[in-house]
Amino acid sequence: MKTIARIALCAAAALALPVMAPRAGEQSDRLARGAYLVSIMDCAGCHAPRGPGGAPVPGAGLSGGTVGFEIPGLGVFWPSNLTPHASGLAGWSEADIIRTLRTGTAPDGLVLAPVMPFPAYAAMKEDDLVAIAAYLRSLEPEAGTAQEPVADSSAARLPFYRVTLPGAGQ
């Protein structure tokens, strides 16, 4: 009986402890891993604003793409702001970011455009997704130039790529 009481006491004490954040070294490693993954997954290829010559705008980070994608039958979409700014990921939890990367559905229920490669992210290890989320949340908030999707490409105010879906035109 004393053994059960000791186990219960230890369990209660453990539950009373605050959840510990990663140690500084672990957090530094996690952010470095997240930065690496964001780089090799080429998030900036879509989510970085571009200047008139097509090069990324210096200092704008991942504040939202200025070159969109036209998806036949769906409209024209511009990549969103991935910084913790109000026009981006402010208010998103780590779990929100990971769920969106895995499923292609944002916390508000918005389904991401099919050009977002969420199936590739869904295949990633949990630790890698945690690292990406931690890195994105660590970025400096940037206002960006968020563009709302448009149904008709003639209403587009910024450039876009036209995506041809498999089997189209056959």
Total tally of structural domains belonging to the chain: 1
- Asked whether residue 169 is assigned to any structural domain, the reply reads no
Asked whether the beta carbons of 81 and 90 are under 8 A apart, the reply is no
- Asked whether residue 58 is assigned to any structural domain, the reply reads yes
User: Following CA atoms 40, 162, 89, 36 in sequence, which dihedral angle do they give, to the nearest 10 degrees?
Assistant: 0
- Mean of the pLDDT values across residues 71-76? 89
* Residue 141: CB atoms within 10 Å: 16
- Asked whether residue 167 is assigned to any structural domain, the reply reads no
Give 102: exposed, middle or buried? Use CB within 10 Å, 0-12, 13-18, 19+: middle
Computed on alpha carbons and rounded to an integer, the radius of gyration of the chain in Å comes to 21
Any idea what the CATH number is for the domain that residue 55 is in?
A: 1.10.760
- Asked whether residue 168 is assigned to any structural domain, the reply reads no
- Mean of the pLDDT values across residues 71-89? 93
- Asked whether residue 126 is assigned to any structural domain, the reply reads yes
What does DSSP assign to residue 69?
A: E
Unique residue bearing structure tokens 């009373």: 16
- Asked whether residue 82 is assigned to any structural domain, the reply reads yes
Residue-range definition of the domain harbouring residue 77 = 2-162
- Mean of the pLDDT values across residues 92-113? 95
pLDDT one-digit tens code per residue, 12-54: 433 333 333 456 667 899 999 999 999 999 999 999 999 888 8
- Asked whether residue 94 is assigned to any structural domain, the reply reads yes
Residue 34's contacts (CB-CB under 8 Å, 6 or more residues apart) are 131, 132, 133, 134, 135, 136, 138
